[in-house]
């Protein structure tokens, strides 16, 4: 049986080589490829994905996996081998129920959709993107049907990104935290508003880039195993623990865009770089889920990057980069400015107190699209109505509204709720982290982040996808995903900032 296990690992490695090759092409499309290459790139990715799909569901691999699963019953259920077999089964099942032709069509469709989204966003014209999104939504509904019966049509899509999570569970969590966040926002709205005008000045693009690089180098980003580029929408991708890539975007007239985007993506990258190298070329060489991944990015962006101890160290350095803009702005004013709570149009630039409302809005819309109760052509109007309902503001155009996120053009329907779930997990981990390292914030004041990253590496990163997300959170914190620590964090932080 040992020979069959080795053969199983060999075939799995070949499958994941193809998977990563397709990922490289997708990264290149969003970072380097000229716009005219979209159709050809779609064909290339579709071919690789069809090869991947066919190899995964081949009779040889299927038979071998069944034999190995029988053997796994004799092993330690928490061993790497058993967990590899279990996760490979999940990877297999996600493809065995779907025809290879569908997979090829889907990847060709989203390649064209991404190019259309970029153009539509640039020109703020949803109609340019509409036919592509209609096709994407049609294919996602079709994908869900391959996994029927289900409790809800959205379940198969959510499960792809957040294993084991059901639509009803997410809705219940959101129903619990929404009124609490609304109450907090109402209390903040009754207080005098904070000044952040100094963030809306002319900031040199290269200096913004250089400062972000300096910070994430301190965080532990390894430039021998990672790189940063620019893209229309910041993202992170990895082709192995020694090749993890992030992107950012720079707004010359608003400092937080590049800064916090870079910190956010660095959190993802540190996760990717910290996975057990023994998991390379297997499905275990990934994060436990997108919620767990987001817990990392939101920690390094917000719980650390928007904290006072962080800026006690970095603010003097930032002022050296931008003396004209920040020379007369004291630390307290700057700290409050970057944490100003105000309903805003752009999700990735939203403050911590309003961010989850952006996610709830998108979840409602995605569920309606999948249920067929909302047509794609009506999306801009529905988006604007929900923005007004949730945040009291209406986007002036499609670019700042329905076209702001890249996810739908990439076929990522089912993804958005993981951002809010990641916020919740980040606060749970933070409580445990502070308990384990009581002087952590003092370390931040000295510009020391090694203990933080080492704790995350040993508790979260090293395990990759070995454990299911709820299992991993339970192991580290002692409880399942729980909204209470996050709401406590928000009330404490903004209670101090706004004198509530």
Cα 390–chain centre separation: 22
Is 205 part of the annotated catalytic residue set?
Answer: no
Residue count of the chain: 500
- Could you say which of 26, 105, 265, 352 is catalytic? 265
Query: Any long-range contacts for 16-22 (C-beta under 8 Å, 24+ apart)?
Result: 16/281, 16/282, 16/283, 16/285, 17/281, 18/48, 18/51, 18/52, 18/55, 19/52, 20/239, 20/240, 21/48, 22/48, 22/49, 22/52, 22/107
The torsion angle over the Cα atoms of residues 122, 126, 128 and 131, rounded to 10 degrees, is 140
**Long-range contacts made by residues 76-79, C-beta under 8 angstroms, separation at least 24?**
none
**Bond prior to 428 in cis (omega within 30° of 0):** no
Q: Which residues pair with 224 in a beta bridge?
A: none
Q: What's the confidence (pLDDT) of residue 75?
A: 87
Using DSSP's 3-state secondary structure scheme, residue 248 falls into strand
Q: Tens place of pLDDT for every residue, the chain, 500 residues?
A: 788 999 999 999 999 999 999 999 999 999 999 989 999 999 999 999 999 999 999 999 999 999 999 888 888 999 999 999 999 999 999 999 999 999 999 999 999 999 999 999 999 999 999 999 999 999 999 999 999 999 999 999 999 999 999 999 999 999 999 999 999 999 999 999 999 999 999 999 999 999 999 999 999 999 999 999 999 889 999 999 999 999 999 999 999 999 999 999 999 999 999 999 999 999 999 999 999 999 999 999 999 999 999 999 999 999 999 999 999 999 999 999 999 999 999 999 899 999 999 999 999 999 999 999 999 999 999 999 999 999 999 999 999 999 999 999 999 999 999 999 999 999 999 999 999 999 999 999 999 999 999 999 999 999 999 999 999 999 999 998 999 999 999 999 999 999 99
Report the distance separating Cα 427 and Cα 257, nearest Å: 23
Q: What's domain 167-497's architecture?
A: Orthogonal Bundle (1.10)
> Domain-by-domain residue ranges, the chain?
2-149, 167-497
Rounded to whole angstroms, the Cα distance separating 219 from 213 reads 10
Whole-model pTM? 0.94
Q: Alpha-carbon dihedral of residues 364, 370, 373, 374, nearest 10 degrees?
A: 70
């Amino acid at each position: 049986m040992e020979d069959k296990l080795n053969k199983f690992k060999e075939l799995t490695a070949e499958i994941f080589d193809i998977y990563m090759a397709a990922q490289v092409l997708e990264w290149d499309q969003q970072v380097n490829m000229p716009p005219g290459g979209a159709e050809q790139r779609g064909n290339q990715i579709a071919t690789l994905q069809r090869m991947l799909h066919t190899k995964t569901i081949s009779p040889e691999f299927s038979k071998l996996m069944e034999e190995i699963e029988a053997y796994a019953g004799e092993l330690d259920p928490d061993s790497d081998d058993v967990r590899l077999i279990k996760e490979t089964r999940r990877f297999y099942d996600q493809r065995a129920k779907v025809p290879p032709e569908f997979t090829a069509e889907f990847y060709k469709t989203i390649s064209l959709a991404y190019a259309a989204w970029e153009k539509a966003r640039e020109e703020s014209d949803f109609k340019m993107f509409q036919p592509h999104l209609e096709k994407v939504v049609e294919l996602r509904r079709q994908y869900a049907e391959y996994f029927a019966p289900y409790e809800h049509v959205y379940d198969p899509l959510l499960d792809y990104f957040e294993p084991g999570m059901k639509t009803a569970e997410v809705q219940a969590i959101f129903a619990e935290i929404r009124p609490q966040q609304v109450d907090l926002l109402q209390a903040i709205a009754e207080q005098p508003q904070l000044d952040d005008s100094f963030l809306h000045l002319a900031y040199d693009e290269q200096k913004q880039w250089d400062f972000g690089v300096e910070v994430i180098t301190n965080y532990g980003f390894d430039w021998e195993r990672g790189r940063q580029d620019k893209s229309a929408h910041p993202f992170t991708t990895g082709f192995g623990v020694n090749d993890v890539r992030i992107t950012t975007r720079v707004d010359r007239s608003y400092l937080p865009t590049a800064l916090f985007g870079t910190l956010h993506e660095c959190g993802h990258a540190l996760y990717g770089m910290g996975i057990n190298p023994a998991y390379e070329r297997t499905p275990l060489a990934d994060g436990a889920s997108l919620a767990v991944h987001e817990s990392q990015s939101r920690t390094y962006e917000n719980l650390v990057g928007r904290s006072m101890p962080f800026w006690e160290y970095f603010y003097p350095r930032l002022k050296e980069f931008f003396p004209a803009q920040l020379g007369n702005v004291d630390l307290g004013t700057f700290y409050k400015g970057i944490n100003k709570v105000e309903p805003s149009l752009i999700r990735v630039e939203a403050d911590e107190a309003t961010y989850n409302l952006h996610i709830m809005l998108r979840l409602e819309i995605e569920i309606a699209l999948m249920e067929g109760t909302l047509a794609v052509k009506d999306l801009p109007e529905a988006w604007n109505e929900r923005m007004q309902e949730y945040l009291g503001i209406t986007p002036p155009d499609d670019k700042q509204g329905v076209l702001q996120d890249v996810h739908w053009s990439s076929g990522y329907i089912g993804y958005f709720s993981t951002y809010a779930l990641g916020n919740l997990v980040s606060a749970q981990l933070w409580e445990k982290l502070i308990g384990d390292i009581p002087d952590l914030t003092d370390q931040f004041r000295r510009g020391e982040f090694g203990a933080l990253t080492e704790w995350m590496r040993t508790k979260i990163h090293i395990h990759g996808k070995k454990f299911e997300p709820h299992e991993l959170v339970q192991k580290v914190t002692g409880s399942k995903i729980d909204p209470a620590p996050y709401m406590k964090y928000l009330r404490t932080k903004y209670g101090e900032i706004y004198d509530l």
